[in-house]
Amino acid sequence: MADNAFDVRGQGDPASVSPGATLLRWPLTPGHTDSLKVDLGWWAGSLGTVPDPALDLLRIAGAAYAADRLTPRGTGFTRTISLTVAVTDTQRWENGVADDVADLLRWLTGDRWLLSLVPDQERIDEDVLNTESDEEAVSLLSGGLDSFLGAIHLQARGSMVRFVGHIDSATAVSFHQDKVQAWLGRAYNPAPAYTRFHLNQQGKKQEGSSRSRSLMFMAMGIAVASSQNSEANTLYVPENGYTSLNIPLHANRAGALSTRSTHPETFARMHRLLGLLGLAVSISNPFEWMTKGEAMTAVAATTPPDGWIDAAAQTISCSKLDSRTFKGGNQNLNCGYCLACLVRRATFLSAGITDKTIYLPDTLTAGNKAKLIAKRRGDIDAVRYAIEVGVDDDAIDSSTWPDDYDLDAASDLVQRGLDELAALPLP
């Protein structure tokens, strides 16, 4: 048994639980139990009829996300997490398929995952939504700047897209999602569908990184796209290519840009998994070969609806979200000096777009602003170092990539991203 063991079952499942494991009960219908709050019931009937492989993937990914957040990392980086999940058919996960999921979780989180899949209880009747949809695709819309630009990009193409969001426990994320949703409703007629779902643990979060969230979020989008109420066969995950590549800024900052949420290797592994499960959903990043500034420039060229620059300022990019620790700080503000915020600020500058974002330093006294800069010094100095030395092709060559991935193009993309940062004044 691992140091941290969890067993996820549908509410009311009488099956015995793995010895020593913490039981997490998934509500049968949208709602909550004492351990999980989920807007997609155990059978996801609110989406229509979801294919069993997509349903199982959603359960596994959602269970992993909850277990990730409930397991403190401690002094060592690598944790061992044992996860038992009830699925509709254990056979489809044999012959290495479940191992692929465990390997994907390890790739995303840096942890060792022991995945055990057990037969589900007998299917319980749940009201199924039978409304038909003519949407051509599903796109993740997180409340961040990249996914906001992705929404405008897809709308400009005339695509019928359903946007899907995850309601995080962080109130700042929900705040910015509300702003984005309100603008979409004003900017487009008819307003595009934007559905947000809770999928969170009820207990206090023990781990702040939540690196498994990307798998959960994609599994949520896949469930929506593959439901019988949807004509969608594409799931868009908009993220600028520079951030997606996740090249360390410094030798002591491995994986420093972000998580591997939209890394090309992540997409390759997801496509392999979907193929093994027989799910005809393709995952695509429309900004795969663009920097964040290039993505904003491309979107601006489509003549977006009025007010899009103001709406862009209402998105969230900050990776720290610790504004409350500074006197007078507003929890809903981007901090301005973490790596993600520096990339964000350089984006507006590169695109020649006025950045109307109110950043945390804009609201602090000089003394508290100095404290904020001191706290972010590691990020700021790493950016300055990376700009000075340029692209580390050895780091690119030694990283993990899909077969036949264009490493020369990746190197050029990273350099363009660094060039954008180089134009940003650093404190």
Q: What is the pLDDT of residues 352-366, one digit of tens each?
A: 999 999 999 999 999
Distances (CA, A) of 16 to 12, 13, 86, 427: 11, 9, 11, 57
Q: Which residues of the chain are modeled with pLDDT < 50?
A: 1, 255-257
pLDDT at 127: 61
**Distance from the first to the final alpha carbon of the chain:** 49
Neighbours of 279 (CB within 10 A): 18
Distances (CA, A) of 364 to 30, 69, 310, 336: 41, 31, 22, 12
Going by C-alpha positions, the residue among 220, 217, 237 that lies closest to residue 282 is 237
Going by C-alpha positions, the residue among 384, 396, 69, 39 that lies closest to residue 220 is 39
Enumerate the β-bridge partners of residue 362.
Answer: none
Do 317 and 333 form a contact (C-beta atoms < 8 A)?
no
**Counting Cβ atoms within 10 Å, is residue 368 exposed (0-12), middle (13-18) or buried (19+)?**
middle
Query: In terms of residues, how long is the chain?
Result: 427
Quote the tokens at residue 92: 């489809």
Enumerate the β-bridge partners of residue 200.
Answer: 37
The helix/strand/coil state of 168 is coil
- Rounded to 10 degrees, the C-alpha dihedral 392/397/401/405 comes to 90
Residue the block writes with tokens 């022991």: 114
pLDDT at 392: 86
User: Strand runs (DSSP E) across 146-277, as ranges?
Assistant: 161-167, 194-201, 234-236
Predicted confidence (pLDDT) per residue in 383-411, tens digit: 999 999 999 888 898 899 999 999 999 99
Instruction: Quote the CA–CA distance of 62 and 197 in Å, as a whole number.
Output: 12
pLDDT at 209: 77
pLDDT at 168: 79
Q: CA Rg, the chain, in Å?
A: 21
pLDDT at 337: 96
pLDDT at 222: 96
